Amino acid sequence: MEAKNHTEFSQFFLLGLSKDPELQPLLFGLFLSMYLVTVLGNLLIVLAVVSDARLHTPMYFFLSNLSLVDICFTSTTVPKMVVDILTHSRAISYGGCLVQMTLALLFVCVDDMLLTVMAYDRFVAICHPLRYTVIMKPRHCALLVLMSWCGISLTTLVHLLLAMRLTFSVGTEIPHFFCDLPQLLKVASSDTSINDIYLYVSTVLLGVLPVTGILYSYSKIVSSLMRMSSTAGRYKAFSTCGSHLCVVCLFYGTGVGVYFSSAVTPSSQSSTIASVIYTVVTPLLNPFVYSLRNKDVKGALGRLLSRAAS
């Protein structure tokens, strides 16, 4: 196809998960229900934390922010996919594609940073309990979240500016259900070397470094737990980390799956399926992981629902 500048065409075509017409009603019902449960579950976590004074602590402050980001993240990708299935349309405008790409990248990276901040919070709480209230003051917690948003916003802005300089062929098809940056770079007609280098560098900075920080925090936490003489105290300390560890494993496990599936196989189908897990399934499971494993959250949710019912 002839390469055209983005000013000469108006849309891309998202290939979605499957072209099989018999699967479309199933995919529509499945993803619509998953999206509604995701939004409801994360919204309940936010309302429980805001409404219950017992949860006005740094750990739950970060949890409520994580739930808000999960709502925004899944809302960036799933509604468009559901509408496409319903209307049998795969088109997305050039501007809409860039906006979706930028927002998806923004929210997934903020998710990443919040999980790192939450690991740091557990590290301070368990390894330096006497200094916890001094280190994790409300102002310091808000500053950590603000710094995460500002740093990620600058990073995604550069990705957006670099993507705007690319050219594409008329009728470009993106083998994905949303405008994912790596997939967008693969279908570009112009040179993407600068974009690829910046993507690699930002992935190292926003992927490898946070993972290293989380692993370091938990190595210190485990070391501190092993030195505890009280079995009850050790169990209580570990239980506060269990939910976070589950979410970290879900998030990074699926992220690594997307990376290796796209690197090992030339087909993008496996990468697309793996992307469903971290864009849809992980935000869906997060509220259940935190509510089922945490009696404080379960208690706050019970009180919230009882007040709503009365």
> Rounded to two decimals, what is the model's pTM?
0.88
Q: Which residue has the tokens 């008329």?
A: 170
- Provide the domain count of the chain: 1
Distance CA 208, CA 220 (A): 18
Cβ atoms 30, 280 nearer than 8 A = no
Task: Report whether 287 contacts 44 (CB < 8 A).
Answer: yes
* Residue 99 CB-density burial (10 A; 0-12 exposed, 13-18 middle, 19+ buried): middle
DSSP label at 169? Answer: E
Whether 82 contacts 31, CB under 8 Å: yes
- Domain span including residue 177: 3-309
Alpha carbon distances (Å) from 199 to 102, 205, 207, 234, 276: 13, 10, 11, 41, 21
Which phi and psi angles does 41 have, rounded to 5°?
A: -65, -45
With vertex at residue 137, the alpha carbon angle to CA 136 and CA 141, rounded to the nearest 5 degrees, is: 70
Give mean pLDDT in consecutive 10-residue pieces for the chain, a chain of 310 residues: 51 83 88 94 91 88 94 93 88 92 94 92 89 92 94 95 90 87 89 92 85 89 79 69 79 66 54 75 84 76 78
pLDDT for position 256: 63
pLDDT one-digit tens code per residue, 291-302: 766 777 878 888
On whether the CB atoms of residues 180 and 107 are closer than 8 A, the answer is: no
Would you state the pLDDT for residue 53? 84
pLDDT at position 298, please?
78
Beta carbons within 8 Å of 85's beta carbon, 6+ residues apart: 16, 24, 27, 28, 31
The predicted pLDDT at position 87 comes to 87
CATH number of residue 73's parent domain? 1.20.1070.10
